[in-house]
Structure 1
Amino acid sequence: MKSIWRDDIEISERERLNGDIKTQVAVIGGGLAGILTAYFLYKQGKEVVVLEAKNIGSGQTQNTTAKITGQHNLIYNTLIQDFGLEKARQYADANKKAILEYKRIIEEEKIHCQFKVCPAYLYSQESSQSLEQEAQAAKQAGLDCSLTTETNLPFPVKAALRFNSQAQFHPLAFLKAIAEPLTIYENTAAEQLDGNCVVTKYSNVTAEHIVIATHYPFLNVPGYYFMRMHQERSYVIALKNAMQINGMYLSVDKGGYSFRNSGDLLILGGGQHRTGENSLGGQYSKLRDAAKKFFPESIEVSHWSAQDCMTLDNVPYIGQFSSSTQNWYVATGFAKWGMTNSMISAMIISDGILERQNSFAPIFSPQRFKFSASAKTLVEDGIQAVKGLMTEIFTLPEEEINQLPKGHGGIVEYKGHKVGVYKDETGKAYIVSTRCTHLGCQLEWNPDELSWDCPCHGSRFDYKGNLINNPAMENLNTIK
């Protein structure tokens, strides 16, 4: 299970850091947000070091659908209602600038990354009302958009909202190019921060400024981001012999689909759910059924999934990590829009370190809290966390290991204890603790990806107990 971006790009590995060093800026995280931030600072003459736990681009950057767009679902109407028109314009301006910055860098560095300017559409097969409201709000925020019923989709729509001058690209081809001149240490996971010191397993990095760009912050305190975000998953299949749709499309209907082309392939996405809430599976099956319906001659060539951090008000947290840590910065909560938000993060954080004013930084400030925009999600996330903790503490399953079929996983009782088990096709059982190593919530089995997922904060582990996604920092306990 590998994305099409990983199929045709090889990025040379970097060495592990094996000795203490000092630098002006330490960037933790080698995804697009971290690498772009380091790139901007390097271009301004700063001494920058990037620390990556695995390999650069091996996290969410390789699993994106790679849309560079300011069209972020039905957000502008909500932004105006919750934050006012000025802040909504800041959000829109940031995204417009992000698209232009990608274009500038690609042209300046002569990067071959399939960059293509094209429109992005929101569409509905059910109602035009929400799109009409969004069109009015987006225009007030300063975006070039218009309503239409004409699309290249394989079905009719009630309405579509077209955003002009958006873009798409090959994210790893771009990442590889801008990372080339940077000082990067791979397989060097940050384990803790102590003032201006980044502590890793093998060495320490002392820095004047520290940027945490690890998708989900690995520190619980300060910042308390685990109380202000949850994570969601979505699924993608790539098809050949489908069609050219000449744009990027996202449904605003529940259970709808997203579409975009990459060369002669069509990328079909959907199946969104909260991490840890896919015990029945079937997300890829739904996409394959849709592919057969819309494109009967198509052939699947790849499938993969992505994980996204969702903030309380659907606006990323970008800027100073907390009020008590003046020289720490964070970039997280990108929702489904990691490409534009990675660029926005790099612009805001590099401006902060370089002591330059940034006109659109206020809307993204991690220190913001507007109760009306956050209350509903805050309550839902709180209930989910309590539920996950109580389930782990008080419930025992009825099933035992011998009742679990081959090729299946689940929570079972083993010697009077609750455990997670995956039984492979040969009947070999892989037994792990069901307790998430982050804050102890009960993990749930994800049959689509053979993983153990945390419904509280989104940590994920493979069926052997190895950590896949943070905020957890440790593997699961296993039972031989």
Structure 2
Amino acid sequence: MNNSLWLKTAYTRDSYPALDKDISCDVCIIGGGLSGIANAYFLAKEGLDVVLLEKDEILSGATGNSTGKLTLQHDLVYANLIKQFGRDNAKTYFDANREAVLFGKGFAIGDELWDANSILFSQSKFGTKLLQDEKRAYDEIGIAAVLGRDSELPLKTEATLTIKDEAQIHPVRFGQHLAQLSVKAGARIFEKTQIRLMDLKKRILNTNSNNEIQFNKLILCTHYPIAALQGLQILKLTVGRSYVVSTSANMPLQGQYISVDSPKRSVRTAFIDGQAHFLLSGEGHPANVEKETRIHYRTLDSELKYVYHLDPLQYKWSAQDPSTPDLIPYAGPISKSMPYVYLNTGFRKWGLSNSLACARIISDQIIGRDNKASSLYAPDRTGFGSFLVQALKNTGLVLKEFTGGYIRRTGTPICTHMGCRTKWNEADETWDCPCHGSRFRKDGSILEGPATKPLDLG
């Protein structure tokens, strides 16, 4: 199976136990990616008793398979935000992510973070028009940026849009550091601990080892917030997959680049223990609709050789991330009627800054501090929260096993989430579910939810 540069070069892993007894806490967080760990850090620092549960190992999912860009330049986004939400809300989005970047810069140590310019570039007149529209949005919001033509890339570029003094991080080392300080502040982290049952009315969770967690507040920091409710994910979240390749290279770039034209590409370098690594990302498509995914790695590897004149790839990995219908993630209570259950998802491949921004929003809400971004990120703005609450009421506020029922079929293994037939992913050597994004390792064990039980390969 493929592994990312970040996971291969992480710090020596800290050992976090599996939960083996009944416990209680002020705040329980489900999900050990950067968003869950940041929530744990912010809340533990406020003196709350925080428990974080991760079904595998922390930072091994979307965070460990990201491109490592900590930036407020989220592709072409601000012109669209102004059109949908108005200038003030677009600026609120910018301010929330700028605060996240500044937190990262102030928090990171050593080579967990490097300064870098964030640069959008075009290779066509149409792409240049998009950059000009985005620059006007920047000006309206007050984002300092330069529209020009300078580029370090061996590509013909028509225009560039540059935000200076952004950041790129080693997401796993950064997250490990944050987890260590969360524990130092009093948070308890449990790995290999999977939630099997939920009773939200009584505020009780039950694990796969039959231990109970009694909570006052619950934060769902998983890709899909509640996997048991059929159809919920399809209605409000879509999932995209993208691919990354990396090789050692003496090609230190000052900027991190994203093309606005097709084919979509993201380019950056990373400096780890004195070695420069070149990262090339792209070839995106809706998750789990393609069986033969090796072609995407071959395409990127070919570009390493023939476009950038670098050695063949040393690392390759893919990541998938849900998107909300309107570009803004969900962060906050699911609804007014259930204010003690919080959602944190829908990062649209910009989960590093948005993880920190959303964690700040939720932690501020829990401790009673005002946060201007709360209404903009509210899960119920698209009807998502109300739909979820109604679904919970229909089940008596007690969720049955997350896997639901499934129908046995012939052919490829059946996903244990809702009975869809999985597809074999040759490139990553995984079984992928085309319905809701679950992924399973070669041996049938769970790589990524919403499924919570392994495949039956018998």
TM-score bin, normalised by smaller chain:
0.7 to 0.9
Residue in 2 that maps onto 1:246: 254
Give 1:219 shift.
3.5
Give 1:222 shift.
10
Residue in 2 that maps onto 1:117: 115
Contact 2:31 2:53 in 1 (8 A): yes
CA displacement, residues 70-91 of structure 1 (integer Å, 9 cap, x when unaligned): 1111111111111111211111
Give 1:323 shift.
4.1
Residue in 1 that maps onto 2:225: 217
Do structure 1's residue 444 and structure 2's residue 423 form an aligned pair? yes
- Residues 219 and 279 of structure 1: CA distance in aligned 2, closer, same or farther (over 3 Å): closer
Measured in 2, the distance between the counterparts of 1:440 and 1:242 equals 48
Residue in 1 that maps onto 2:146: 146
Give, as a single letter, the amino acid of the residue that structure 2 aligns with 1:205.
Answer: I
Contact 2:246 2:313 in 1 (8 A): yes
Measured in 1, the distance between the counterparts of 2:198 and 2:231 equals 13
For structure 1, which segment, 297-306 or 269-278, has the greater mean C-alpha deviation from structure 2 after superposition? 297-306
Measured in 2, the distance between the counterparts of 1:5 and 1:90 equals 31
Do structure 1's residue 200 and structure 2's residue 239 form an aligned pair? no
Contact 1:436 1:472 in 2 (8 A): yes
Do structure 1's residue 294 and structure 2's residue 307 form an aligned pair? yes
Residue in 2 that maps onto 1:388: none
- Residues 437 and 120 of structure 1: CA distance in aligned 2, closer, same or farther (over 3 Å): same
Contact 2:429 2:441 in 1 (8 A): yes
Give 1:223 shift.
11
Residue in 2 that maps onto 1:424: none
Residue in 2 that maps onto 1:427: none
Give 1:144 shift.
1.6
Q: Tell me which of 242, 250, 253 is aligned to 1:234.
A: 242
Give 1:49 shift.
1.0
Measured in 2, the distance between the counterparts of 1:175 and 1:345 equals 15
Contact 2:245 2:281 in 1 (8 A): yes
- Residues 25 and 113 of structure 1: CA distance in aligned 2, closer, same or farther (over 3 Å): farther
Give 1:224 shift.
3.2
Residue in 2 that maps onto 1:259: 267
CA displacement, residues 384-442 of structure 1 (integer Å, 9 cap, x when unaligned): xxxxxxxx99xxxxxxxxxxxxxxxxxxxxxx96312xxxxxxxxxxxx2x33223333
Measured in 2, the distance between the counterparts of 1:321 and 1:48 equals 20
Give, as a single letter, the amino acid of the residue that structure 2 aligns with 1:116.
Answer: W
Residue in 1 that maps onto 2:175: 175
Do structure 1's residue 340 and structure 2's residue 340 form an aligned pair? no
Give 1:351 shift.
0.4
Measured in 2, the distance between the counterparts of 1:12 and 1:444 equals 34
CA displacement, residues 332-386 of structure 1 (integer Å, 9 cap, x when unaligned): 0111111001101110010011011101122111101299xxxxxxxxxxxxxxx
TM (norm. structure 1) is: 0.83
Give 1:242 shift.
5.2
Give 1:221 shift.
4.4
Measured in 1, the distance between the counterparts of 2:381 and 2:309 equals 48
Measured in 2, the distance between the counterparts of 1:158 and 1:187 equals 49
Contact 2:227 2:451 in 1 (8 A): no
Contact 2:194 2:452 in 1 (8 A): no
Give 1:186 shift.
1.0
Give, as a single letter, the amino acid of the residue that structure 2 aligns with 1:326.
Answer: P
- Which structure has more relative contact order (CA 8 Å, sep 6+)? It is 2
Residue in 1 that maps onto 2:165: 165
Residues 283-322 of structure 1 aligned to structure 2 (within 5 Å): 283-322=296-335
- Residues 223 and 183 of structure 1: CA distance in aligned 2, closer, same or farther (over 3 Å): farther
State the secondary structure of the residue aligned to 1:478: coil
Contact 2:135 2:145 in 1 (8 A): yes
Measured in 2, the distance between the counterparts of 1:25 and 1:191 equals 18
State the secondary structure of the residue aligned to 2:92: helix
Measured in 2, the distance between the counterparts of 1:137 and 1:345 equals 23
Aligned pair count reads 420
Give, as a single letter, the amino acid of the residue that structure 1 aligns with 2:134.
Answer: E
For structure 1, which segment, 156-165 or 90-99, has the greater mean C-alpha deviation from structure 2 after superposition? 156-165
Measured in 2, the distance between the counterparts of 1:222 and 1:455 equals 14
Contact 1:230 1:458 in 2 (8 A): no
Give, as a single letter, the amino acid of the residue that structure 2 aligns with 1:154.
Answer: P
Residue in 2 that maps onto 1:186: 191
State the secondary structure of the residue aligned to 1:318: strand
State the secondary structure of the residue aligned to 1:368: helix
Contact 1:122 1:249 in 2 (8 A): yes
Residue in 2 that maps onto 1:472: 451
Residue in 2 that maps onto 1:419: 411
Give, as a single letter, the amino acid of the residue that structure 1 aligns with 2:4.
Answer: S
Contact 1:112 1:174 in 2 (8 A): no
CA displacement, residues 425-469 of structure 1 (integer Å, 9 cap, x when unaligned): xxxxxxxx2x33223333333222122222232112234332221
For structure 1, which segment, 138-147 or 94-103, has the greater mean C-alpha deviation from structure 2 after superposition? 138-147
For structure 1, which segment, 12-21 or 220-229, has the greater mean C-alpha deviation from structure 2 after superposition? 220-229
Residue in 2 that maps onto 1:19: 21
Q: Tell me which of 283, 298, 301 is aligned to 1:271.
A: 283
Measured in 1, the distance between the counterparts of 2:298 and 2:254 equals 26
Give 1:322 shift.
3.6
Gap regions ≥5 residues in structure 1: 372-391, 394-415, 421-432
State the secondary structure of the residue aligned to 1:418: coil
Measured in 2, the distance between the counterparts of 1:352 and 1:96 equals 19
Residue in 2 that maps onto 1:366: 379
Measured in 1, the distance between the counterparts of 2:410 and 2:250 equals 46
Residues 36-55 of structure 1 aligned to structure 2 (within 5 Å): 36-55=38-57
Residue in 2 that maps onto 1:61: 63
TM (norm. structure 2) is: 0.87
Residue in 2 that maps onto 1:351: 364
C-alpha RMSD of matched pairs (Å): 2.2
Residue in 2 that maps onto 1:375: none
Q: Tell me which of 279, 292, 305 is aligned to 1:280.
A: 292
Give 1:226 shift.
4.1
Residue in 2 that maps onto 1:131: 131
Contact 2:238 2:323 in 1 (8 A): yes
Residue in 2 that maps onto 1:383: none
State the secondary structure of the residue aligned to 2:192: coil
Give, as a single letter, the amino acid of the residue that structure 1 aligns with 2:218.
Answer: I
Measured in 2, the distance between the counterparts of 1:144 and 1:451 equals 43
Gap regions ≥5 residues in structure 2: 385-405
Give, as a single letter, the amino acid of the residue that structure 2 aligns with 1:317.
Answer: Y
For structure 1, which segment, 2-11 or 264-273, has the greater mean C-alpha deviation from structure 2 after superposition? 2-11
Give, as a single letter, the amino acid of the residue that structure 1 aligns with 2:55.
Answer: A
Contact 2:112 2:171 in 1 (8 A): no
State the secondary structure of the residue aligned to 1:343: helix
Measured in 2, the distance between the counterparts of 1:223 and 1:192 equals 19
Give, as a single letter, the amino acid of the residue that structure 2 aligns with 1:198.
Answer: L
